[in-house]
């Protein structure tokens, strides 16, 4: 697959999740899509009573033609969804694992 296809797939997945939003009142879900630099995030910001919430549930980058999953705090797992959409395992890097541990996954090392 081409990098442009990866951009479209990632943006589609993040926008779908952003549309669903947060189940908690007062929490805004933001899709951050930087196709020029290939950084993609799903953020959650707001207030739960007197407590501030600000966090990233999903962070993906495209580097050297591969999708790097920097963080995945989702229930389904973004790698599973990428595979279902035709992205080959050798083009997905589980960057949240150390470089040493990646060799034991079914995915790309780097």
For residues 9-45, one letter each, b for 16 or more C-beta atoms within 10 angstroms of the residue's C-beta and e for the rest, the string is bbeebbeebbeeeeeeeebebebebeeeebbbbbbbe
pLDDT at 34: 98
pLDDT at 24: 76
pTM (2 decimals)? Answer: 0.93
Structure tokens at 88: 């080959």
pLDDT in tens, 35-83: 999 999 999 999 989 999 999 999 999 999 999 999 999 988 999 999 9
CATH architecture of 3-102: 2-Layer Sandwich (3.30)
Any idea where the domains of the chain sit in the sequence? 3-102
pLDDT above 70 coverage of the chain, percent: 98
Please, are residues 34 and 54 in contact by the beta-carbon 8 Å criterion?
A: no
Structure tokens at 43: 């953020």
Q: Minimal CA–CA distance to 38: which of 72, 3, 75? A: 3
pLDDT at 35: 96
**How much is the average pLDDT of 10-20?**
95
pLDDT at 26: 87
């Amino acid at each position: 697959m081409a990098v442009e296809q990866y951009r479209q797939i990632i943006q589609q997945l993040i926008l779908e999740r952003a549309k669903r939003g947060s189940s908690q009142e007062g929490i805004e879900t933001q899709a951050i899509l930087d196709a020029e630099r290939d950084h993609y995030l799903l953020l959650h910001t707001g207030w739960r009573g007197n407590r501030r919430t600000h966090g990233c549930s999903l962070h993906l980058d495209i580097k050297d033609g591969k999708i790097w999953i920097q963080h995945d705090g989702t229930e389904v797992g973004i790698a599973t969804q990428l595979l279902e959409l035709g992205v080959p395992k050798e083009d997905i890097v589980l960057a949240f694992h150390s470089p040493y541990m990646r060799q034991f996954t079914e995915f790309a090392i780097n």
